[in-house]
Every structure is written in structure tokens, then in C-alpha cells.
Amino acid sequence: MSNDTTMIRTYKYRLYPRKAEVRALEMMLAQGCEVYNAALAECKLRYEATGKGIKALAQWDYFRQWRKQPGILLNASSLQQILRRVDKAYAAFFRRMKAGETPGHPRFKPAQRFNSLDYTYSDGCKLNGAALYVQNVGDIKVKLHRPLPDSAVIKQAILKRSGRKWFVCLSLEADASVDVGSKDNAVGIDVGLHSLLAFSDGRTIENPRWLRQSLADLRVAQRRLSRRKRGSNRRRKAAQGVARLHERVTHQRRDFWHKVTRSIVDTYKVIAIEELSLAFMTRNEHLALSAHDAGLGLFRQLLEYKAESAGTQVIAVAPHFTSQVCSRCGAVAEKHLSVRTHDCPHCGLQLDRDVNAARNILHKSA
């Protein structure tokens, strides 16, 4: 996070469309999917014929005509956004080829997986009191469960279908000092090597004992299974045992993370965490192991989801050197993964290594 005072924030609101509005929304998504696949097909043909990419946006002239058919509900700028999505998929494909990988060709999307439409705000999609006006659909009831900041400039609106529910996500530029609360209530959280989570205020959270016990039981059961002869009755029994324990661990872990993330968003107004891509975690064997055990993906997912509705801000910072730098004086104190305390050779600060990292994460977010 830079020191800029403006940033993009997203507010997500539930929509309550009436039956006829749902039908119109469904139809728009189906048409969007059709555009996506048609544009992709054209790009694919060109690519197979020439080995080169073409921009899907270059097909805009064609789709502008296509849009004039009766019954087409798609807004022009959101149609362009769909073409941009195709271009993005291709850009990623070419980037990976360049990096020497053998990526699969961008895929056609089945209609049930095409679930969102982007709008430039107020071009076909705009708040209108307690409703969201959507072009060719009408005024849809929206629940504004948290108010938009007064200074907000809304840039983009995304309509989303999630199962049978509908949402609108509004991306806006807001003054960072607005609506965030006092920074006293900010916390950095490190996904620790030794503690499960470490907080900049010194708190740590460990895997609870019952979860550790279930994990240990699971490992024992897995070893037992591996000793059983293939096709035997005893193996079948052992496999059932593993499946049962697996289910228990999954359930307990989910329950645990629900409680942890709830208490975090209820306590803090601003939460800084490290941006940990999965690629990064799998490169680092130690972290990958603990990440797997702890269900950290679930942590991130639930944290962001709960923060959204609690009006808490989550800031992700780049994960560089947070564990090696002293959080008081900034000196670099390199330490092996096995060392538990940060012991600064420069200023003498002694601190749990994960808490030191959490403080650095908080500093970076400011």
C-alpha cells in the first residue's frame, strides 16, 4: 500500500430482483456468455491459422451490429468489457507460453459459469434511491446495508449471480481517511511459521488442541490404510475410517476459522495481511506444509467475506522481508526458519518472530 490518500474500495450489496427482473438478468448473462464464446471462437480460429493472437476488442464493430438485433439486452460498454475479458484470458495464455510453460488454450465458458457483467458506473447501471437501475431490466431493489462514504466517486458496477442470489459490487475511489475509523484500531496479522496467526499487538492464535488431535488421528488412520492389502475387507474398513476423520477435520477447521475471522473483524477496523499467492506458498516448502495444515486459503476467504459486511478494511501488502526486518529500527536481522525470537542486533528489540513480522505488515499498510 502506498501513501496515496485515494484508493479503490469495493462495496457489495445484495439485490432483490422480482421474477421478471430475474428473467431479464438471466437473459443478459446468457447473451454475455454467447458474446464471450463467439469472440473467443474467432480469436481461436485466427490463432490456429496464423499462430498469432488478435484482439477480441477488434471485433467490436461486428458486435456493435450484432447488438442491434431485437431482444438483445446487453449494454454496449458491458459488452466491450466482455471482449476485454477474452483479451485478458489470451494475454495470460501468451504470457505463460513466453515463460516456457504449456498452458491450455483459453476455454469456452458454459452458461452456468458466466456469472457477472461489468458496467462503467452510470452507463446502464446506477443507484437510484433504494434501487439499482439496470438498463433493459428496470429498478431492482437493493439493500444498502452500509452507507457509501460521502466523498465516494463510483467508477464501476459489477452485477453478479451467486447461486440463486444477485449482488452488485460498486468499486469506488474514496479518500483513505474516510470511513475507516481510527488507526489505533488497526492490526497487522502474520501467518506465522510457529504460531498459526500472530498479531502486531502481541496476540497469537494456535491451532486448537482438538483440531491437532483430529489431525493426529487422521495421520494414524492414513498410515493404517497404507498397510492394508489392496482389495481386502480390512482395507475397505480402513478407507472408511480415513474418510470419516477427513470429514471431521474439514468440519472442525471450517468452524474454527469462522469463529476466528468473526472475532478479528469485530475487533479491528483495519486489518493488514500479507499477499500470499499460492505459487509463493508452494515454493516455500515449510510454509506450504503449514499452509496446508491450517487451511489458510479458508482464512483469507472468510476474513475478506466477513470484513466486507462488517465495514472492516483488509489491506494486503507485498510479502517481502517482513520476518527479517526489525519492526522497531528497520535493521535487517536474518534468521533461520527455526529461530523463534526476533533478537535485534542493532536496537536490542526482543520479540516473538511472528509478532515482529505482524508489526512490519502493519507498518507497510500505513
Which residues here bind Zn ion, judged by CB under 5 A? 326, 328-329, 331, 344, 346-347, 349
What's CA 20's distance to the chain center, in Å? 32
Q: How far is the CB of 344 from Zn ion (least distance, A)?
A: 3
Q: How far is the CB of 2 from Zn ion (least distance, A)?
A: 24
Q: How far is the CB of 245 from Zn ion (least distance, A)?
A: 45
Taking the least distance from each CB to Zn ion, the nearer of 304 and 343 is 343
Taking the least distance from each CB to Zn ion, the nearer of 35 and 326 is 326
Taking the least distance from each CB to Zn ion, the nearer of 20 and 332 is 332
Phi, psi at 141, each rounded to 5°: -65, 130
Taking every pair of C-alpha atoms in the chain, what is the biggest distance, in angstroms?
A: 74
Which helix (H) or strand (E) covers residue 279, if one does? helix 278-283
Q: How far is the CB of 3 from Zn ion (least distance, A)?
A: 23
Taking the least distance from each CB to Zn ion, the nearer of 109 and 328 is 328
Q: How far is the CB of 345 from Zn ion (least distance, A)?
A: 8
Amino acid at 133: Y
Contact 190, 355 (CB under 8 A): yes
Taking the least distance from each CB to Zn ion, the nearer of 360 and 365 is 360
Taking the least distance from each CB to Zn ion, the nearer of 146 and 328 is 328
Taking the least distance from each CB to Zn ion, the nearer of 102 and 350 is 350
Q: How far apart, in whole angstroms, are the C-alpha atoms of residue 129 and residue 56?
A: 36
Q: How far is the CB of 263 from Zn ion (least distance, A)?
A: 31
Q: How far is the CB of 100 from Zn ion (least distance, A)?
A: 42
Q: How far apart, in whole angstroms, are the C-alpha atoms of residue 122 and residue 77?
A: 11
Contact 348, 175 (CB under 8 A): no
Contact 114, 32 (CB under 8 A): yes
Q: How far lies 18's CA from each of 15, 23, 209, 221, in Å?
A: 10, 9, 48, 51
Contact 124, 135 (CB under 8 A): yes
Amino acid at 14: R
